[in-house]
Amino acid sequence: MNQKKHTVRTIQQMRDNGETITMLTAYDYPTAKQINDAGIDMILVGDSCAMVVHGHPNTLTATMDMMVLHCAAVARGCNRTMVVADMPFGSFQYGIEETMRNAARFVTEAKVDAVKFEATPRHIEKTRAIVEMGIAVVGHVGLHPQAVGALGGLTVQGKSVETARKVVREALALQEAGVFAIIFEAVPAKLSAYVTRKLRVPTISIGGGPGCSGQLLVTPDVLGMFDAFTPGFAKRYQDFNGLMKETFARYAEEVRTGVFPGEEHSYKMSDEVLEAIEKEFGAASA
Ligand code: KIV
């Protein structure tokens, strides 16, 4: 396992050597640290935090301040895993300068290694501008959850010739603009495998099938911590919700029955101190 911090070069090397890149989302320090220590190659601090952490119905309510705060916490937990910040809705849709300033906040304030945004063909110039600033950029094709309103739902993209063409064109344009990797979200497996073979840069699948250079999942889906919306491509490895509920109920039971706190969870004081206090303030009534 590579013990040094991943960079755009090591991620490209993995793709060139045919090693599969692993990626998960994270939004806080303790989770990021476990992901880092487990040897996962990349973390996306996704704007999915608006849903899975803040309880909103979609990702549109994520803000720059919210994302910078989550990114900074995640970055502090990673000495090996590459951290990618997701630029939220409204942070890259206006002018080039504003987009550049927002991208810069992620590297200067949150100290992440790269940024990602849901760039459409209208954002190619902005992608190029951020790359020219010296910031590593990840592209994102297929389903853009920030376009949920226009799309009418979070659905698979690229099943028809017309929509598949859009995915291919966008991926090629992003590579040309200088991104170092591209996320394929909710794209038919055959299409992502085809584009992966056409591209020089690594592709990371989240619902893009096994033919990509790497795989990404939303961590609360993996842990079984988020029930409000589970995409078809997500795989649940644990039942953390069940574990948490059971743990909290046990704690409540122990508090109610006086089992907790026991001697071992209480601080000690000498009898002389209590005697002195009682002398000064009087005995406490029962
Ligand atoms: O916010 C997020 O987690 C994402 C992934 C679904 C790609 O953008």
> Does the pLDDT value for residue 104 go beyond 70?
yes
Domains of the chain, first to last = 8-238 (3.20.20.60), 242-281 (no CATH)
From the CA of 118, give the closest atom in ligand 1: 8
| Cα 200 from chain centre | 24
> Does the pLDDT value for residue 101 go beyond 70?
yes
List, in sequence order, every residue forming a beta bridge with 205; answer none if it has no partner. Answer: 184, 215
- What is the mean pLDDT of the segment spanning 90-106? 97
The protein residue whose alpha carbon is closest to atom 1 in ligand 1 is: 46
Quick one: pLDDT at residue 229?
86
The neighbour count for residue 67, using CB atoms within 10 Å, is 27
> Does the pLDDT value for residue 13 go beyond 60?
yes
> Does the pLDDT value for residue 224 go beyond 80?
yes
> Does the pLDDT value for residue 3 go beyond 80?
no
C-alpha span between 261 and 259 (Å, rounded): 6
The string of pLDDT tens digits covering residues 167-209 is: 999 999 999 999 999 999 999 999 999 999 999 999 999 999 9
229 Cα to the center of ligand 1, angstroms: 13
> Does the pLDDT value for residue 119 go beyond 90?
no
Instruction: Place 1 in a pLDDT band, splitting at 50, 70 and 90.
Output: low
From the CA of 49, give the closest atom in ligand 1: 1
Pocket test for ligand 1, best of 45, 48, 226 (most atoms within 8 A of CB): 48
Quick one: pLDDT at residue 285?
86
Regarding pTM above 0.85, the answer is yes
Instruction: Place 67 in a pLDDT band, splitting at 50, 70 and 90.
Output: very high
- What is the mean pLDDT of the segment spanning 64-71? 98
Active site residue 185: yes
Average pLDDT of the chain?
Answer: 96
The protein residue whose alpha carbon is closest to atom 4 in ligand 1 is: 46
- What is the mean pLDDT of the segment spanning 51-69? 97
Quick one: pLDDT at residue 196?
98
Instruction: Place 39 in a pLDDT band, splitting at 50, 70 and 90.
Output: very high
> Does the pLDDT value for residue 35 go beyond 60?
yes
- 182 CB near ligand 1 (under 6 Å): no
C-alpha span between 101 and 223 (Å, rounded): 34
> Does the pLDDT value for residue 93 go beyond 90?
yes
> Does the pLDDT value for residue 286 go beyond 90?
no
> Which is catalytic among the residues 118, 125, 185, 246?
185
